[in-house]
Amino acid sequence: MNIILLGPPGAGKGTQARRLVEERDMVQLSTGDMLREAKDSGTDMGKRVADVMARGELVTDEIVIGLIREKLEGAKGGGFIFDGFPRTLAQADALGELLSEEGQSLDAVIEMRVDDDTLVSRITARSTCGNCGEVYNDQTKPIPADGRCTSCGGTEFKRRADDNEDSLRTRLMAYYKQTSPLIGYYHAKGQLRAVDGLGEIDDVAAEIAAILD
Ligand code: ADP
Ligand code: ZN
């Protein structure tokens, strides 16, 4: 089963994708994570995209489609969670073609709905474990007092360069302008399902599970 998690920054796509990986043995394909890895390891592409990402703008379709193509070519079985991809109509078309070339299909597109105020407060309070990627929130899920990650015991935590108010405004605008048209696109294809992204992590996970089963 291949699915897309669609929603604005801070909607909880990454959190839910991680759960699906643990509970259903699916494979998470996050273009955001792939681009951050390229940046951190200092590849040419990583250097080219760093500023664009820090500003909160989208990197080119060509780059992200290339990243996804590499992961899909020759991949066995189903079970991909597309997280943060596609983000434009051109990317959505490319994904459809790539999947059909691999003899695979898209089973559901899950739109995670969250209001803008919640997005802003989630993202400006967000940090992640530098080792395992567990997500923390200064208000709702603070880093434990002993400074150790609850999931792996790691002691280093990071904040993303684009988790600041200016970049976030740009990211939200990019979402509404360039990505939200995908809601209509997948609705028209009969593949769109929506979940309330404001609930507790477990409740959102249960809604997603109900759609997948
Ligand atoms: P967010 O938490 O804002 O949803 P991601 O971690 O998915 O962010 O992506 C971070 C940044 O990486 C984006 O703001 C954008 O610059 C770039 N990026 C990630 N995926 C894509 C994509 N599919 N198309 C274009 N740019 C992307
Ligand atoms: Zn950790």
Residues lower than pLDDT 70 in the chain = 77-78
Residues whose beta carbon lies within 6 Å of some atom of ligand 1 = 9, 31-32, 35, 52-53, 56-59, 64, 84-85, 87, 91, 162, 171
Q: Give me the pLDDT at residue 65, please.
A: 98
Pocket mutation for ligand 1, best pick of 18, 29, 31 (most atoms within 8 Å of C-beta) = 31
User: pLDDT, tens digit, for every residue of 86-136?
Assistant: 999 999 999 999 999 999 999 999 999 999 999 998 899 999 999 998 989
State which ligand 1 atom lies nearest to the alpha carbon of 167. 14
Using CA positions, which residue lies closest to atom 3 of ligand 1?
A: 9
Q: What's residue 140's pLDDT?
A: 87
Q: If you search the block for the tokens 């897309």, which residue do you land on?
A: 4
* 83 Cα nearest atom in ligand 1: 7
pLDDT reported for residue 81: 97
